[in-house]
Amino acid sequence: MAGRNWLIKTVFILGILLYLWVILMSFVWGNTGFVPETVIFLVLIVFFYWAYDILDLRLPIFAALILGFLPHALGFMGFYLNSPLPIAYDHFTHFFPCLAFALVFFQFLRRFMTRRLFAPKTLFLIALVILAAAGIGVIIELFEFSGFLINGFGDGGLAFGAGDACTGQLVSTFEEIDAYGGGWFNTMYDLIWNSIGVLTGVFIMILANYVFKKKEINLFDKYY
């Protein structure tokens, strides 16, 4: 198990404490709509810690996974309605997790890749990484839609609210959803930013494994 290495264990514990703090602050802030997802993120962090060796993870990738969930968890601070970034906050919350999952899938499959980037086997496996990571993005969209069917309007990924329409626009009725494209714009923007995140993650891993590597060691292999 990954716990054999103290640095991995430290990152894991800090990640758990970080998300517990987010849950606590959600109650202090008075916006608990994001707590269910944050609990799911905690479960995922524990799972990836347990599966660290099985997935052949490296510390930077594990850290990216932990931090990849954080932007959405911080939505309790109102960032979906008033983005602190130059782009819509919802775009960022889809970009970062999909980037992290692309790193995970690439790292897991790279043992089967050849030393040549443009070998058919390597290209096929890279395509498989893209499809697998993009599939995570699709699952997220299905998760959001299922939450809306159950909970309707409100905050968090399990409801339709801030960040699910035009930037800065709070939607609270079916009529307003229709007025803003029936949710199509939100879904398609999400899928686009999911794809950008996936392709960015794949590009990073190609650089690490085929451009910056030395001999048989890739950029991340110096980490446990």
* pLDDT tier, 168 (very low <50, low <70, confident <90, very high otherwise): very low
Residue 119: phi and psi, rounded to 5, are: -70, 140
Residue carrying structure tokens 């008075």 = 30
Cβ–Cβ < 8 Å for 114, 121: yes
**Least confidently predicted of 33-37, 90-94, 141-145:** 141-145
| Averaged confidence pLDDT in the chain | 83
Helix, strand or coil for residue 224? Answer: coil
Q: What are 2-60's pLDDT values in tens digits?
A: 445 889 999 999 999 999 999 999 999 988 888 988 999 999 999 999 999 999 999 99
Could you tell me which residues are beta bridge partners of residue 186? Answer: none
**Given pLDDT bands bounded at 50, 70 and 90, which one contains residue 67?**
very high
Angle between helices 89-109 and 120-151 (to 10 degrees): 140
Q: Whole-model pTM above 0.85?
A: no
Whole-number pLDDT of residue 150: 65
* Domain layout of the chain by residue ranges: 2-211
List Cα–Cα distances, 57 to 47, 65, 82, 203, 208, in angstroms: 12, 10, 35, 17, 14
